Amino acid sequence: MSEPLGRKAARGGLVVLGGQGVRILVQVASVAILSRLLGPRDYGLVAMVLAVIAIAEIFRDFGLSTAAVQAKTLTRAQQSNLWWLNSAIGLVLALVAIAAAPLIALLYDEPALTALTAAMAGMFVLNGMAAQYRADLTRRMLFTRLATGEATAPLLALGAAAYAAAHGAGYWALVVQQLVQAAVALAFAGFFAGWLPGRPKRGAGTSGFLRFGWSLTGTQLINYAANNIDSLLIGTRLGAHQLGIYNRAWQLLMTPLGQLRSPTTTVALPVLSRLRDNPPLTQRFVQRGQVALGYSLGAGLGLVAGAAVPVCALFLGPGWDVAGILALLACAGLFQTLAYVGYWVYLAHGLTTELRHYTLVASTLKVLCVLVGVRYGITGVAVAFATAHLLEWPLSLWWISRRTRLRVGPLYLGAARILLVAATVAAAAYATAEALHGRHPALAVLACGAAGAAAYALLLLLPPIRRDVFTLAATVRGAIGPKLPGKVLSRG
């Protein structure tokens, strides 16, 4: 069982990451195009709305998507009930957001936010209707269909937003982008899932999903507060202009990073759910997942941190002095990535209560750091955000080892090797960027990439690094080679 499951997981990972790669390109193109058509205040106003109403997105899903994916059995009646629940919650939250729009405008002292909030409330309905379709595609491991829809939606949304911005729509172009993306994603997910919900039925056995979802929602609410405290404090204390500047660095890096990490959960959750009664295979899958994330995303984040100046100049153009913030966010993203595999284990084992307890501790740490950092402006916030994740990641791995049979020692050692790779790549990229200061940013970015790749290659002289890279290469070969033995999970 483990061999075909390993191949399927690896192939699914490549398919989903390929689709996310397209989304990343669209996200970067969105930042590069719209940053030249809109100003910091436009982004700041929309970011203000999103920082507040995004909390309703947590209630809209209510953890029911994850509950459906990790369930051992799921009937069509249960699916239909969950679809109606997600859709109804989305509709109710849209009405609540419209009613609360004047209060959001009052919170930030920005009258324009009343209409903005009311318009963006439509996202709740669209995302609520799409939630169980996406969960169904994930559960059935139909990753090609899932990736197709999730790559097409942002591309069409960018086209609509660019057209609106070029014709003077201002911040409304960003609203158009959000709504078009949600509508297209719903259309694709529904079409590819290939089913329509039946009437809601009593006695279908939905209560277990609600218990799981409610417990997970508590965790997500805590995590939401910690992850959005920076935008909320910048918006209320420093204003829309400063929030818009900070938001550009965030959108250039952290949003694509989230888009890359999220599909790894999409692939890992159904696999680890099947392996939860086999601790040795779970250990191997998690360790190799950490290697895959660290040696790809970790190295990329090191490159961004080192080459932050030319990267900002190339993708944002003049008027966006955010290189220091981008480098700090890259460090924060690296520390997040080191601990990300623990999140898979919590969900796959149904440890939502334990996850909530840990998230409360970690979020308190993050909020305290940001409260101190905001006194020093947006750079202080970025320093605080990176510091919080630096302190958090070793704690997160230790915490999960206390709740499961996962051995934390190999994960610490793997993280140390990943940090070495990222730091070496960052140093090479930074030295190259300094040497090419004043040159065209495209040339500098390419040179930094080449220097980072050369530094990465030199590290292969170290046997532990070489073994990790060979493990990653074997995983990829197992994914793309139809006749190769699927020993991704079974080989020590």
- The 10s digit of each residue's pLDDT in 397-442 is 888 888 888 888 899 999 999 999 999 999 999 999 999 988 899 9
Q: How far, rounded to the nearest angstrom, does the alpha carbon of residue 448 sit from its chain's CA centroid?
A: 25
Residue 13 — very low, low, confident or very high, per pLDDT cuts 50/70/90? low
Residue 388: the pLDDT is: 92
C-alpha dihedral over 355, 359, 360, 363, to 10 degrees? Answer: 180
Residue 325 φ/ψ region, left for φ over 0, alpha for ψ in the -120 to 50 degree band, beta for the rest: alpha
Residue range 165-200, pLDDT digits in tens: 999 999 899 999 999 999 999 999 889 988 888 887
Higher pLDDT, 52 or 14: 52
Q: What Å distances lie between residue 487 and 4, 309, 354, 411, CA to CA? A: 8, 42, 32, 21
User: Rounded to an integer, what distance in angstroms lies between the CA atom of residue 267 and that of residue 426?
Assistant: 29
Q: Quote the crossing angle between the two packed helices 2-34 and 308-315, to the nearest 10°.
A: 60
Residue 60: the pLDDT is: 62
The residue ranges of every structural domain in the chain are 12-238, 276-483
- Most confident stretch, 28-42, 146-160, 375-389: 375-389
Asked if 308 and 352 touch (Cβ cutoff 8 Å), the reply is no
Helices vs. strands in the chain: H and E counts, helices first: 19, 0
Q: What is the pTM for the complete model shown?
A: 0.66
User: Rounded to an integer, what distance in angstroms lies between the CA atom of residue 380 and that of residue 361?
Assistant: 22
